[in-house]
Structure 1
Amino acid sequence: MRYPQFYEMYRNAIRNTWTVEEIDFSDDLVDLQRKLLPAERHLINRLVAFFATGDSIVANNLVLNLYQHINTPEARMYLSRQLYEEALHVQFYLTLLDTYIPDQAERAQAFAAIENIPSIRRKGEFCFKWIDSINSLDELRTREDRKQFLLNLICFAACIEGLFFFGAFAYVYFLRSKGLLNGLAAGTNWVFRDESCHMNFAFEVIEQVRREEPDLFDEDLGARVTEMIGEAIECEYGFAEDLLSQGIGGMSLTDMREYLQFVADQRLTTLGLPKIYGSKNPFGFMELQDVQELTNFFERTVSSYQVGVKGEVAFDEEF
């Protein structure tokens, strides 16, 4: 076995099995009808609309791009498992649509968010700019082809799953810190763990490429990655302006920008690039996230996997 680390990632992923049917949305329905303020309802509707489209983009990229060019059997085992998990996430988000947005016309609009909600369309355009670039490549023949592949993978890991989704999770955990939408938070705990594993796998692939072809990681690639992450922050900040446009007590645009910059710095460090922003995490409720076997007074059940691994996801300096 040439790349045993990918096989171990696959085995760990198998241990982390959960199903959408385990999530209890009964408290969420009460919150939606009686507790959420109009500004919070707007935030949730936009968030669910993004969720409903985001993982579909990821799944398409997995099948059409990454699986084609990451051809070691151990890594393809993991990618096959990841595709299952992306489908599970889509099922979770579709269930959120059905549960949270009963109106058929409003639900259809949310499902087509990438076409009719400007802040989400902008994020979609960013994704297609950076990950569609290798759709026409059957083989990675040249050095530039390999760089294009790396940019695709870095966009997927650092920006889509590593920034867009982590920004979205902050809104979920903020609402949970107020005792709202326990079902959404419970499902997000599991998605959070999955997405962290997906991101770590992608970064390990990037590191393996660095070990085998270090000449690809030159100043040109670094500059393009830095440009990409800067664009991702602006897209996600525009999404924050939309979500928070009606005013949410306890969550400001200034804090959200600082949080996004903090996360971006962690991604740059993982990629061996210097930090740009030097920001701190302004959200104390994110530092408390332990997504394995999490029980607190907001939840009725333990949010553990059916078969779990030990460990936690925390927003510390090494995150």
Structure 2
Amino acid sequence: MLDWDDDNTTATTTENPATPAGGPAPVNVDDKRVINGDTDINQLAPFKYPWAWEYFMNANKNHWTPLDVNMAQDVHDYHHRLTAPEKHVYENVLAYLTTSDILAMRNIGLAVMEKMSAPELQIYQARQVYEEAMHTWAYQHCIETLNLDQSEIYNRYRVVPAINGKIQIANRRLDAAMRPDMNLRNRDDLQEFIMSYLFFAAVFEGTWFYNGFSPIFALQRRGLMRGTGEQLQYILRDEAMHFSFG
């Protein structure tokens, strides 16, 4: 988990080896910072945050794609077994989660990564960006497989008040974190960035995503939409790591 107080970070310090004449000194691990660091961002090791590298390694053990999941039964269930209200809820879940994962991807890729000053943090976050994109692919795969009206589904976040309200809150937090004049050495800007970071990590991904998963898992427990449920189980495993990292 990110510790914004670098003074309390425990790290093993190793004495720098001799520097070639006229060359720059190797990165000192104690000089690394989560943000506002001045060390060379292109030098991966030595790690100050080895746990971040472990997150990256563990994330790669959960590699999957939507094409790995058989959706044939879902097609039958959607067209022949789901009630009209169940179809409505299922479609709203896809509408909400697709838009939400795009926002989560943009938050990490555009607002967070470039502010991190330790490469081991950025590497896991790069994996997280990929995972958010793959989650969006999973929802799109469901929409395509069931032959749903993509334009109508994707527009629901604009017209369904409950979905729109959450998306607007997330957009405001993302816009705040992406301000071009943000200076994280300024206390007020740093506080605003941390609030946005915590919102996406704890509220958006740590709470609201689970609200979206639960209706699909309820159908899955009844033997319905099992392919969709299986994909969301993989996504849930990814999101649990994202929440824990944050």
Return the TM-score normalized by structure 2: 0.78
CA distance in 1, matches of 2:191, 2:143: 38
What does residue 52 of structure 1 align with?
98
CA distance in 2, matches of 1:118, 1:107: 19
Q: Does 1:126 align with 2:169?
A: yes
CA distance in 2, matches of 1:96, 1:82: 21
Post-superposition CA distance 1:51-105 (Å, at most 9, x none): 22110001111121111212211000101111111111111011111123x25xx
- On the 8 A contact 1:53/1:113 being kept in 2, the answer is no
What does residue 301 of structure 1 align with?
none
Per-residue deviation, 1:37 = 0.8
What does residue 185 of structure 2 align with?
141
CA distance in 1, matches of 2:167, 2:102: 11
What does residue 114 of structure 1 align with?
157
CA distance in 2, matches of 1:184, 1:201: 26
Q: 3-state DSSP class of the match of 2:153?
A: helix
CA distance in 1, matches of 2:111, 2:182: 9
Q: Does 1:192 align with 2:244?
A: no
1:1-319 correspondence runs (5 A): 1-100=47-146, 102-103=147-148, 106-136=149-179, 137-202=181-246
- On the 8 A contact 1:50/1:120 being kept in 2, the answer is yes
- On the 8 A contact 1:52/1:94 being kept in 2, the answer is yes
Per-residue deviation, 1:138 = 4.3
Q: 3-state DSSP class of the match of 1:30?
A: helix
- On the 8 A contact 2:93/2:213 being kept in 1, the answer is no
Q: CA RMSD in A?
A: 1.3
CA distance in 2, matches of 1:153, 1:113: 26
CA distance in 1, matches of 2:91, 2:112: 31
Identity, % of aligned positions: 28
CA distance in 2, matches of 1:60, 1:114: 17
- On the 8 A contact 2:96/2:163 being kept in 1, the answer is yes
CA distance in 2, matches of 1:178, 1:172: 10
Count of residues in Structure 1 that have an aligned counterpart in Structure 2: 199
CA distance in 2, matches of 1:19, 1:128: 28
- On the 8 A contact 1:131/1:151 being kept in 2, the answer is no
CA distance in 2, matches of 1:51, 1:129: 18
- On the 8 A contact 1:4/1:74 being kept in 2, the answer is yes
CA distance in 1, matches of 2:82, 2:137: 24
CA distance in 2, matches of 1:148, 1:84: 26
Return the TM-score normalized by structure 1: 0.60
Structure 2 regions of 5+ residues with no counterpart?
Answer: 1-46
1:152 partner amino acid:
S
CA distance in 2, matches of 1:129, 1:25: 36
Higher gyration radius (CA): 2
1:143 partner amino acid:
R
What does residue 271 of structure 1 align with?
none
Post-superposition CA distance 1:129-169 (Å, at most 9, x none): 22321221443121111111111111111111111111111
